[in-house]
Structure 1
């Protein structure tokens, strides 16, 4: 029998450092410094007072001294900010005032458009000196560079051409290639037997159905054209590619920008082009706080000597754009150069960059980057509680977060939709310096969109990670091979309490690659559905000294290559198809009552610190303790719609159960080659609210739809017009709807023909906000009042204290709350709708001895739609601590 938890305080004492709701922006001025106001309606020579603001932020920065503040009023500022340094005791602050969005825009308007013939318009304009970094925006949306074959607006849903197997290292054979002069164009390659990086080259000659190029193919094989598994490519950087509205081409010799205008002409439309790579340049600054700014078409960086910089509540969109992947210069490399270093291309010149020592990026959203989301270099920097998504679409090793250096803290970030890894380290730039880093409580999903040989968490190579801990992370729904991949001779990685599902062949892999894999450890991790090779693998290690794997629960065997001496220690693991998880398909891999993982583990010093019962549990969660969560608590951080009893029917009568079984490794294949009208109909079992559908073809190199539409229905009988149309052949395809949609049925219908049958491995839905049928973790609440939050639960709520979740998709009438209370009588947790004092939906009475308990009550009425939910404590000074809640039918 497991002993009682006699005190809620004893349960909560171990919770980590807490995230506190930020103070209002108007209170940005601190200390005895002066506050200057800036507004677009201000004057150049104004005093900077509230009634006589300055016009530009640069004007304010020319005046500030340590301790001063620039308060920025709503508006768009097309300028580059280069702040002076403050001091440790008196930082300089640049903050949004709080009266509306403040945007630092890196673009300038392009005017003077004239007819250029062939359906094009052109404007004479000077764009930045390096044409590789040009970006153009049409009516505040990204305009794609002209390319063949055409692709949709989402660069992570790219369309590829496929070369013939007769192609060679520097020649592409393709009978579908349009007859045009492609000389000088950039050819982008994703090719080879198992391509782990993309490359670019320059077309030298063209002929009917073929072209020659130079560059690319730095390693052949496996990264080359020819008779390979992958022979994908596309062309950009040529006027010949301009054939659909919004596409552009810049003639750098003539300084002329060509554009295919919208169908109604260019009049009335706005075109802007990127002019400033760094809208906020802190490369020479220290002790500066930047708070509440938006960046558009530009980025932010600190410098190698920066310290004490705090970037808070940044929203950066379209931070980096480029079209080529050159070999990094030797001066950028930390170890002697060789041809494999193509993978490090563009890491040092893209993304939001936090360099130096003791700097912080927090509470921010970073999105839309051809390269990094965030580059982290130096010593002792912190990246925490950020939402990073839709980055790395050029397919090099630029990830959501690139970590170089030592002593960094990377925690509570959500990283979603990346070309390759979510979190990565580039050893070519980092050298062997990668130690004493903490990477924890991050949620990584939808990674490896344009690669296969990799993982959401990937490190390479020859790194000594002594003192580093990679713990309490979740990795899921990715098309690589592994959830966590420690590649090529790297050692001393301490992995523990990590979770992975739907990551392909393996949960975690340590690859000795005919070299050492020394001191690597994986303890108390949980691996779930969608892993069909090995839960943990140690491969080809000539020396596995001090490598130790224990307390692992997973569906597939732990595999250790029988080479090397000594072999790893492998013990106290649970390999079973019946682990007793709460909800494996939805990634809830914590043990349910009766799980064989309970009390079945071994003690590991420093790892199994929260033990309840006779022994540690196997896996990432300790039964009876609060359930820790990963990722950020910002809007957008929780989007995956809970997978219920979903069923799929194929029009051709084939068994389509694999489409909605929640396992990325199972596959449905249509009965015949693709043709318009083929369809899949999905019954979600109940109405769900969603805004995006992801159709995943796994690791297949063919079979993706050449085009499809998505329609929805509430009753399965009446169907409206398609809400989304998708074309192209990307390996995972997303249908994005123009608005949030609530429906029970979906129909996916092919709109184009293709030479091979249609395949689907997995179908997922995403909504703009959390799904209340999914477990809502209290520590991730968007509103917390009167109580502190930890990494696995709240503190003890007193009467009137509350946690709130905004814009939650609700569809049910039964509330379940997991809480711990020492209240003797008269205490309760009230669920209220839309406001803390809003309509009362249900009351959960709480009392007890401090143990964590789940309690369910029927609501006064079934609740549907997108609503704000508040759980409010009533009854005394110490009502209850809250772990999670759900609302289901």
Structure 2
């Protein structure tokens, strides 16, 4: 048995993946020459700080290996195409550090004139492929005209529902407005089990009817007709323009139409996408891109690129498209067939790492109709990134698409995706997928526009030899499974993963009707919100080499008993009370009285950190530091800790299922939806949040047709609604214009609906971490004098500190988990807003080489949003820090 302090050197060695570099300065330019670029410069200038160049392109025309373009704050509407450097002398493009540097892929649209019918128009040349058009009004995404109208959030859309008399290429819908819809794009989410969405083109329309071609590549289960799902919408037609900000582009006339904002176009700016790749590294190697922002465009490397590092990128609105065509045969690794529609747009969207040995780190990637990040080739690293609001068109485009071999994908937070958070596509990758490490990623709010899938998804016929999927968390998703290895894939090793609120299962190995060989799951922990099996392997004709052990879960493990040797299932704890610390909040580490302690078996290469007589069952070894997942960038920690919440329904029905933290329990109203029906939630204490998620389950009906959200501090005085929501997606988000602090929340229906409304779960999110949740030391925003590992810091010496930015605080007691060999006069000080800011608490450290929790009251109750600093005082070695909380 090793002491906690002996492990800290290992943790510190792993910290390099999480540490953010310091802001760019001129001194960082190594041995090469530094050229300056600024909006007020001139491309004929010398490029010094006093005489900067005007464009990044002019700088890149001058650089040689080892040189740097230092780009000053401003917006640069150009395509950046760097030359190659060398392994020892890369070319660098870096933000100077005096403000945001944005490479903008859009161009202004001007010359607006009245076009009649309440529309304005401007003549403009948009890119030659209309499928990739995107328009922005006042730097926000403008919606292409569509029917039915929907809200601004493309992951929470309103669908039309076809009548059951519809057929394969024909829609009957009595609600369809009479208009000339010919040529419009019909977007379909239909079938008995629609695991992908499709698009087609309207060929004829009549009142309440339309015909289309395309789509329906698999019928069933993906087709319109008398099916469980008959959802669709129309886009790409001038007839759909009826809402301020909507647009339509007439390709033949080169004319952009828009419904103007109230008050007209004066004072508003409109831009349109012109460049798919704002930073194009497809012919570049040994280039470093650091600190840039992208708007309305993306970044890519090429199949021959190597040695490219992209650091601190902030990319927004990276990919937009309106159709889902069948991928060309040249994009497919195996013989094509109709089901390949699911792979549409995987290879032409997202931030793309192609080639060999490139890296994306410390970056935020958001707003994409397709991929967030595409990883394809060999040996890439994707580390410490925040990827969110992507994949809304509903094909298999995920937060991170992993194709190829030898990649490392670690410490990423992936949130709010149309389908998977992390995915690999067999259609594009064939049978080769090996030696990949997928670890310490946090995947949540996935499967927003699909149902048959999971946050982590593998499909299909893949050999995962040498790969490891470990130390990940999967939770609060709208699919059916936490980790899904689908259709004939084998040799996948999963271990030390965590899942809760993922639907039917924690992990699913789907043999379907073929082999599922040598798949393994060890030491994983599954919590609430799993209704059928903790682990399942089914349908396999051959499950040889399957090995499931050291699992903790609330539901049984089910494995096909086929193959030679037969599957091994042993040393597992199936219990609704396994001794988790706080299952509702995903804290599935063990309490001292858990029956899982020392109850596991040794597994070579898996049970490496053992304390006591034997390994523990589950993902966390009792007495070890508590490892965490996800990135440490702003926005990575948002979930508000669930407490003793209660819900009351206006119709008097029992609404306790809404606030029990389990997505599989459901409240159903007593009657069909009508304005004024409400749910009121008492949080038990004030919480700070700016988004509410109403999870209404994965059924086809019952989602509210429209609602508003109001808040109150006392449950008696209610202000005006902070948000109004429409749409019928599985989970609907009410986003508030600002952070608010309240104890009581009221959700009130604003629309009628044909069936009673339902709610399975309510979740809250804020702009920063919640101090009542566990603040892991390795997730600190800033540190001084100490390194962070995967599950703690090294030993803080006197004057060292860890800091967390913009933390929501409402509590009076500090609890810290630490380990120390300090004999006397050591303490940890909690200070507000700065390392030398107001003192909130002093926690004396009692020397113990083992990890232990200690608490102390705050000198006064602290509320509001603060930066928090934990400062070490005393000897040269004070303590190593695992986590802290501030609660009542």
Preserved contact between residue 186 and residue 202 of structure 1 (Cα < 8 Å): yes
Task: Give matches, 1:89-104, under 5 Å.
Answer: 89-104=88-103
- Cα displacement (A) at 1:267: 1.7
Give the corresponding residue for 2:123: 124
CA separation of 1:53/1:679 partners in 2, compared to 1, >3 Å: closer, same or farther?
A: same
Say which SS state the counterpart of residue 690 (structure 2) adopts. strand
Give the corresponding residue for 2:883: 884
Task: Give matches, 1:27-66, under 5 Å.
Answer: 27=26, 29-66=28-65
Preserved contact between residue 28 and residue 71 of structure 1 (Cα < 8 Å): no
Task: Give matches, 1:866-881, under 5 Å.
Answer: 866-881=865-880
**Long gaps (5+) in structure 2:** none
Q: Distance in 1 between matches of 2:707 and 2:241?
A: 24
Preserved contact between residue 440 and residue 472 of structure 1 (Cα < 8 Å): yes
Task: Give matches, 1:244-255, under 5 Å.
Answer: 244-255=243-254
Give the corresponding residue for 2:828: 829
Summarize deviations over 1:26-47 as a string: whole Å, max 9, x none: 1464332100000000112100
Give the corresponding residue for 2:14: 17
Say which SS state the counterpart of residue 182 (structure 1) adopts. coil
Give the corresponding residue for 2:804: 805
- Cα displacement (A) at 1:560: 1.6
- Cα displacement (A) at 1:13: 2.7
Give the corresponding residue for 2:609: 610
Q: Distance in 2 between matches of 1:539 and 1:11?
A: 41
Q: Distance in 2 between matches of 1:589 and 1:490?
A: 29
Preserved contact between residue 11 and residue 625 of structure 1 (Cα < 8 Å): no
Give the corresponding residue for 1:642: 641
Q: Distance in 2 between matches of 1:691 and 1:10?
A: 39
Preserved contact between residue 28 and residue 95 of structure 1 (Cα < 8 Å): no
Preserved contact between residue 543 and residue 566 of structure 1 (Cα < 8 Å): no
Q: Distance in 2 between matches of 1:60 and 1:353?
A: 24
Preserved contact between residue 828 and residue 844 of structure 1 (Cα < 8 Å): yes
Give the corresponding residue for 1:161: 160
Preserved contact between residue 166 and residue 173 of structure 1 (Cα < 8 Å): yes
Give the corresponding residue for 2:733: 734
Task: Give matches, 1:300-699, under 5 Å.
Answer: 300-563=299-562, 566-699=565-698
- Cα displacement (A) at 1:564: 5.0
Preserved contact between residue 543 and residue 560 of structure 2 (Cα < 8 Å): no
- Cα displacement (A) at 1:128: 0.4
- Cα displacement (A) at 1:563: 4.9
Give the corresponding residue for 1:280: 279
Give the corresponding residue for 1:711: 710
Say which SS state the counterpart of residue 342 (structure 1) adopts. helix
Moved more, 24-33 or 119-128: 24-33
Give the corresponding residue for 1:229: 228
Q: Distance in 1 between matches of 2:660 and 2:881?
A: 32
Summarize deviations over 1:99-151 as a string: whole Å, max 9, x none: 00000000000011111111001111100010000000001110000000000
Say which SS state the counterpart of residue 515 (structure 1) adopts. coil
Preserved contact between residue 28 and residue 93 of structure 1 (Cα < 8 Å): no
Q: Distance in 1 between matches of 2:548 and 2:500?
A: 18
Preserved contact between residue 4 and residue 851 of structure 2 (Cα < 8 Å): no
- Cα displacement (A) at 1:565: 5.3
Give the corresponding residue for 2:138: 139
Preserved contact between residue 417 and residue 446 of structure 1 (Cα < 8 Å): yes
For the pair 1:88 / 2:93, whether they are aligned, the reply is no
Give the corresponding residue for 1:752: 751
Q: Distance in 2 between matches of 1:769 and 1:236?
A: 36
- Cα displacement (A) at 1:73: 0.3
Summarize deviations over 1:448-500 as a string: whole Å, max 9, x none: 00000000000000000100000000000001010000000000100000000
- Cα displacement (A) at 1:391: 0.1
Q: Distance in 2 between matches of 1:28 and 1:283?
A: 29
- Cα displacement (A) at 1:23: 2.5
Q: Distance in 2 between matches of 1:741 and 1:240?
A: 39
For the pair 1:863 / 2:862, whether they are aligned, the reply is yes
- Cα displacement (A) at 1:7: 5.8
Q: Distance in 1 between matches of 2:178 and 2:562?
A: 54
Say which SS state the counterpart of residue 330 (structure 2) adopts. helix
Q: Distance in 2 between matches of 1:63 and 1:519?
A: 54
Q: Which runs of 4+ in 1 moved over 4 A?
A: 562-566
Summarize deviations over 1:663-686 as a string: whole Å, max 9, x none: 000000000000000000000000
Give the corresponding residue for 1:214: 213
Q: Distance in 1 between matches of 2:76 and 2:624?
A: 49
Say which SS state the counterpart of residue 428 (structure 1) adopts. helix
How many residue pairs match? The answer is 886
- Cα displacement (A) at 1:729: 1.7
RMSD over aligned CA atoms reads 0.9
Give the corresponding residue for 1:771: 770
Q: Distance in 1 between matches of 2:334 and 2:39?
A: 48
Q: Distance in 1 between matches of 2:166 and 2:559?
A: 38
Q: Distance in 1 between matches of 2:552 and 2:3?
A: 29
- Cα displacement (A) at 1:845: 1.3
Summarize deviations over 1:318-371 as a string: whole Å, max 9, x none: 000000000000011011100000000000000000111010000000000000
Q: Distance in 1 between matches of 2:403 and 2:816?
A: 41
Give the corresponding residue for 2:5: 8
Preserved contact between residue 29 and residue 93 of structure 1 (Cα < 8 Å): no
Preserved contact between residue 544 and residue 563 of structure 2 (Cα < 8 Å): no
CA separation of 1:839/1:512 partners in 2, compared to 1, >3 Å: closer, same or farther?
A: same
Say which SS state the counterpart of residue 367 (structure 2) adopts. strand
- Cα displacement (A) at 1:848: 2.1
Preserved contact between residue 37 and residue 71 of structure 1 (Cα < 8 Å): yes
Preserved contact between residue 353 and residue 373 of structure 2 (Cα < 8 Å): yes
Preserved contact between residue 488 and residue 512 of structure 2 (Cα < 8 Å): yes
Preserved contact between residue 84 and residue 285 of structure 2 (Cα < 8 Å): yes
Say which SS state the counterpart of residue 38 (structure 2) adopts. strand
- Cα displacement (A) at 1:20: 2.6
Preserved contact between residue 523 and residue 550 of structure 2 (Cα < 8 Å): yes
Preserved contact between residue 368 and residue 391 of structure 1 (Cα < 8 Å): yes
Preserved contact between residue 21 and residue 784 of structure 1 (Cα < 8 Å): no
Preserved contact between residue 4 and residue 819 of structure 2 (Cα < 8 Å): no
Q: Distance in 2 between matches of 1:728 and 1:480?
A: 18
Preserved contact between residue 279 and residue 300 of structure 1 (Cα < 8 Å): yes
Summarize deviations over 1:200-244 as a string: whole Å, max 9, x none: 000001111110000000000000011111110000010000000
Summarize deviations over 1:248-293 as a string: whole Å, max 9, x none: 0001011110000001111221000000000000000000000000
Q: Distance in 1 between matches of 2:511 and 2:223?
A: 25
Q: Distance in 2 between matches of 1:850 and 1:719?
A: 51
Q: Distance in 1 between matches of 2:73 and 2:30?
A: 24
- Cα displacement (A) at 1:12: 4.4
Q: Distance in 1 between matches of 2:854 and 2:368?
A: 44
What TM-score do the two structures reach when normalised by structure 1? Answer: 0.99
Q: Distance in 2 between matches of 1:171 and 1:325?
A: 19
Q: Distance in 2 between matches of 1:631 and 1:65?
A: 37
Give the corresponding residue for 2:839: 840
Say which SS state the counterpart of residue 29 (structure 2) adopts. coil
CA separation of 1:755/1:16 partners in 2, compared to 1, >3 Å: closer, same or farther?
A: farther
Q: Distance in 2 between matches of 1:853 and 1:404?
A: 42
What TM-score do the two structures reach when normalised by structure 2? Answer: 0.99
For the pair 1:243 / 2:242, whether they are aligned, the reply is yes
Say which SS state the counterpart of residue 849 (structure 2) adopts. coil
Preserved contact between residue 550 and residue 573 of structure 2 (Cα < 8 Å): yes
Q: Distance in 2 between matches of 1:16 and 1:194?
A: 46
Preserved contact between residue 29 and residue 35 of structure 1 (Cα < 8 Å): no
Q: Distance in 1 between matches of 2:609 and 2:60?
A: 50
